[in-house]
Amino acid sequence: MNTKVELLDEKNIDEKILKQAGYVIREGGLVAFPTETVYGLGANALDANAVKKIFGAKGRPQDNPLIVHISDIKEIYKLVKFIPEAAEKFMNEFWPGPMTIILPKTDLIPDVTSAGLSSIGIRMPSNIIANHFIKAAGVPIAAPSANISGRPSPTDVERCIEDLNGKVDWIIGGGMSEFGVESTVIDCTVEPSCVLRPGRITLEMLRKIEPNIYIDPAVMRKPSRDLKPKAPGMKYRHYAPKAKVKIVQGDLKKTIAKISEMVQNYIDEGKKVGIMATDETKEHYKKGFVISLGSRKNMVEISKNLFETLRSFDDENIDIVISEAFEEQGIGIAVMNRLQKSAAFDITEV
Ligand code: TXA
Ligand code: MG
């Protein structure tokens, strides 16, 4: 398949291109597009055959449901059976934005889109290109992250091209994603609501609206037989670059010492080692290929750079990436969740 790539400018959107891309969606095609979290791979959410193509292009397990994207709050009413009060409040407060809410679905949504579940995740992105694209399509758009299943989500158009060129009809570029981690997923079919995937909309922000909301305990722990995450997608090895990822967690000074020791050992074994550091620590590493995620004082910057940094170690053919850890608080919960999964929970405590 010949993939058409179109680069758009958020400040000066070419509506003619979005009109054509919208037509591709209505005709049952696949279009990757930017959002404020990560790039998405879109298809008409109401067209079972189009949605099936998403699973094929990504190599995604069939039991992993998709998120349906809308451009106006009004569009939700035909997609879900009812909206509890808490969900209504979350929508009013955080849409458009990086939040997905899970609600009981109507029959309008085919079973492939929800992977056979009776519920569906709905999200209204704030990214202006995404918003105009969904409007131009005139149908709700089912879109997982636009990566090959298991790889870190793409936060820039080059990474979409890397993963999806030749597998999709169109790729729309629109600069680097603002937040870099996927939306906060909230299950609103239960009471109190439950966070199935942490993101930029933090637990603290959600608790201001629903004080009893909590994070699914399986989110921050290694999945086991009795601890299965409620979001099917969270049980898979995920966000993994080709390099093996390891995390060192604890006091920062001890972390630097431990990482330096591990780097030396791997170099002695003839391995190419990368270090995922921060502005505060990067000067302390004397060996290894060091990339800083940004300042520890700015967790939004760190979340924005996380997936791109993981992928850039692959560009250097690094064998092993050792990462520092972050405090599990605020956006740090989302960052640590993605990092732990990319490392398949290989964590050394110091
Ligand atoms: O920020 C985002 O949400 C991005 C952009 C493109 O919008 N999309 C995204 O989609 O991250 P995806 O498919 O990569 O992740 C969706 C997550 C998966 O973990 C999936 O299992 C969960 O949401 N999910 C979707 N529908 C669900 C449902 N009905 N019940 C439980 N979990 C659900
Ligand atoms: Mg994904």
Q: Look at residue 346 and tell me whether its pLDDT is greater than 90.
A: yes
Share of residues in the chain with pLDDT > 70 (%): 99
The pLDDT of 63-74, averaged and rounded, is 96
Q: Ligand 1 centre from 336 Cα, in Å?
A: 18
Instruction: Report which bound ligand comes closest to the CA of 143.
Output: 1
- CA dist 72 and 92 (Å) reads 12
Distance CA 26, CA 9 (A): 23
pLDDT at 288 over 70: yes
* Ligand nearest to C-alpha 118: 1
Q: Is the CB of 337 under 6 A from ligand 1?
A: no
Instruction: Determine the pLDDT at residue 48.
Output: 98
Residue 120 Cβ inside 6 Å of ligand 1? The answer reads yes
Ligand number, closest to the Cα atom of 37 = 1
**Binding site membership of 102 for ligand 1 (Cβ less than 6 Å):** yes
Indicate which atom in ligand 1 lies nearest the CA of residue 39. 6
Instruction: Give yes or no for residue 130 CB within 6 A of ligand 1.
Output: no
From 37, 145, 239, give the residue whose CB has the most ligand 1 atoms within 8 Å, as the site to mutate: 145
pLDDT, tens digit, for every residue of 180-233? 999 999 999 999 999 999 999 999 999 999 999 999 998 888 777 777 778 777
Residue 236 in this model has a pLDDT that exceeds 70: no
Q: Which atom of ligand 1 is nearest to the CA of 181?
A: 1
- Per the CB < 8 A criterion, the answer to whether 303 and 334 are in contact is yes
Pick the residue whose CA is nearest to atom 17 on ligand 1. Answer: 233
How far are the Cα atoms of 212, 236, 254 from residue 289, in angstroms, in the given order? 44, 28, 20
Q: How would you write the chain as a 3-class SS string?
A: CCCEEEECECCECCHHHHHHHHHHHHCCCCEEECCCCCCEEEEECCCHHHHHHHHHHHCCCCCCCCEEECCCHHHHHHCECCCCHHHHHHHHHHCCCCEEEEEEECCCCCCCCCCCCCEEEEECCCCHHHHHHHHHHCCCEECCECCCCCCCCCCCHHHHHHHHCCCCCEEEECCCCCCCCCCEEEECCCCCCEEEECCCCCHHHHHCCCCCCEECCCCCCCCCCCCCCCCHHHHCCCCCCCCEEEEEECCHHHHHHHHHHHHHHHHHCCCCEEEEECCCCHHHCCCCEEEECCCCCCHHHHHHHHHHHHHHHHHCCCCEEEEECCCCCCHHHHHHHHHHHHCCCCEEEC
Taking the CA of residue 147 as reference, the ligand 1 atom at the shortest distance is 14
Per-residue pLDDT tens digits for 111-138: 999 999 999 999 999 999 999 999 999 9
Q: Are 335 and 323 in contact (CB under 8 A)?
A: no
| Minimal-distance CA residue to ligand 1 atom 21 | 233
**Ligand 1 atom, smallest distance to 119 CA:** 29
Q: Give the distance (Å) from ligand 2 centre to CA of residue 133.
A: 20
Task: Give the residue numbers of the binding site for ATP.
Answer: 60, 64, 145, 153, 197, 239
What tens digit of pLDDT does each residue of 158-180 get?
A: 999 999 999 999 999 999 999 99
Task: Return the best residue to mutate from 58, 172, 182 for the ligand 1 pocket (most ligand atoms within 8 A of CB).
Answer: 182
User: Is the shortest distance between the CB of 182 and ligand 1 below 6 Å?
Assistant: yes
Ligand 1: which atom is nearest the Cα of residue 41? 6
pLDDT tens digits, 309-339 = 999 999 999 999 999 999 999 999 999 999 9
**Whole-prediction pTM value?**
0.96
Report whether residue 160 contacts ligand 1, using a CB cutoff of 6 Å.
Answer: no
Ligand nearest to the CA of 35: 1
Q: Which domains are seen in the chain, by residue range?
A: 4-220 (3.90.870.10), 244-349 (3.40.50.11030)
Is 309 near ligand 1, meaning CB less than 6 Å away? no
Ligand 1 neighbourhood includes 126 CB (under 6 angstroms): no
Least confident of 107-116, 216-225, 257-266, 286-295: 216-225
Mean pLDDT score of the chain: 96
Residue nearest ligand 1's atom 33 by CA: 231
